[in-house]
Amino acid sequence: MKRVMDRTRPKRRLERRRWPAHRMLACAAALLLLGLDTDSSSAADASPTLWAGFESGAAPDWSVNQGIDVSSDYAHTGNYGAQATATPDQAAYLKWGYPSVVQGERYARVSGWFRIDSAGPGESVGLFSLKNDVGVHNFDLFLDPVTGRFKWDLYRYDYGTSTMTAELGEWYHVQALVDFGGVGSTQYTAQVRINGVDQPAITSELQVGTTVRSVYFGQNILGKTNTRELDSLTMVVSDEPPTFSQ
């Protein structure tokens, strides 16, 4: 049977072509503004609260998952945890970035259980780094090889040091509340709590106010050798100041 041509169809087809093209241009512009913190997840999956307990027995979906092994041998809570093994030619870390992380929020709470099993002589060991949308003067928390204590900073001399010495092979519950000021501000702040004990808070002035962009658990830096365990990792972003979870 010969089909009758529907003269309205070409018009609808043209409308469909124009709409996706417009939307693609808008998405491309958004990605340029956000820089390189992209992954293959859907933007609809973005959440102000992200959590990883590794209870599936495998590393969950991350923007980057490198040098990570999941096993019951590495668990602090539940049945599974993760081990990050850094070698001189491969960094070991997990990353949550756009679009999994909601963008445009000035505050974040990052927390988790961490255990450092080994570290190269004279090398720092990164626990986590909260990145901002400016791309510099981020919040970093790491083991200081000189003092043997945990250390965190925002910029140069704006840093804090833990009240306790960090012991290899011991688990530590670390939380950080970070404020990147938001657009128009000139001040960043950070509060830290380790094993339920409040640590020295820090403030960094003369900054460019901005928002949270991504978080790295570990360090994306080559040339280091260390082994770490991670469990119950959490990141919460918000437009209101967060509080410690315990």
Percent of the chain with pLDDT over 90: 69
Stretch 92-116: mean pLDDT: 95
Stretch 128-145: mean pLDDT: 97
Q: What is the pLDDT of residue 129?
A: 97
Task: Check if the beta carbon of residue 89 is closer than 8 Å to that of residue 208.
Answer: no
pTM: 0.80
Q: Say yes or no to pLDDT of 9 above 60.
A: no
User: DSSP string of 184-238?
Assistant: T---EEEEEEETTEE---EEE-S---B-EEEEEEEE--SS--EEEEEEEEEEEEE
**What average pLDDT does the structure give for the chain?**
84
Q: What is the pLDDT of residue 156?
A: 85
Going from the N-terminus, what domains does the chain have, and what CATH number goes with each?
Answer: 43-238 (2.60.120.200)
Stretch 204-232: mean pLDDT: 95
| Cis peptide bond N-terminal to 200, omega within 30 | no
Q: What is the pLDDT of residues 58-92, one digit of tens each?
A: 766 677 888 999 999 999 999 999 999 999 999 99
Q: What is the pLDDT of residues 14-41, one digit of tens each?
A: 333 343 444 333 333 333 333 334 333 3
